[in-house]
Structure 1
């Protein structure tokens, strides 16, 4: 598994860090941990400004 970090592009806030096989799975994992079914349920106000998904090396 790879380790990803998801940030809000405008604020720079780190929203999630964890392991996932790919960036889309990382978005799903972040959403699930926040109580949503998957990334498509993330509210628009969180998506506004964009989400940056970056693979980090540990």
Structure 2
């Protein structure tokens, strides 16, 4: 698993950070934590702003 950060494209606001297999599962995890079944269930007004999913490369 990798660590992903989901941002809203228009504002740059960080919406979610956590572990996921890929960008799609990261978006779904973000939506579930917000109370939705998955990212396709998010309201159109939220999805219209767009999302950026970035894999964070953390080096210790």
Q: TM-score, normalised by structure 2?
A: 0.91
RMSD between aligned residues: 0.7
| 5+ long unaligned stretches in structure 2 | none
Paired residue total: 58
Corresponding residue for residue 27 of structure 1: 27
Corresponding residue for residue 55 of structure 1: 55
* 4+ aligned runs moved over 3 Å, structure 1: none
| 5+ long unaligned stretches in structure 1 | none
Q: TM-score, normalised by structure 1?
A: 0.94
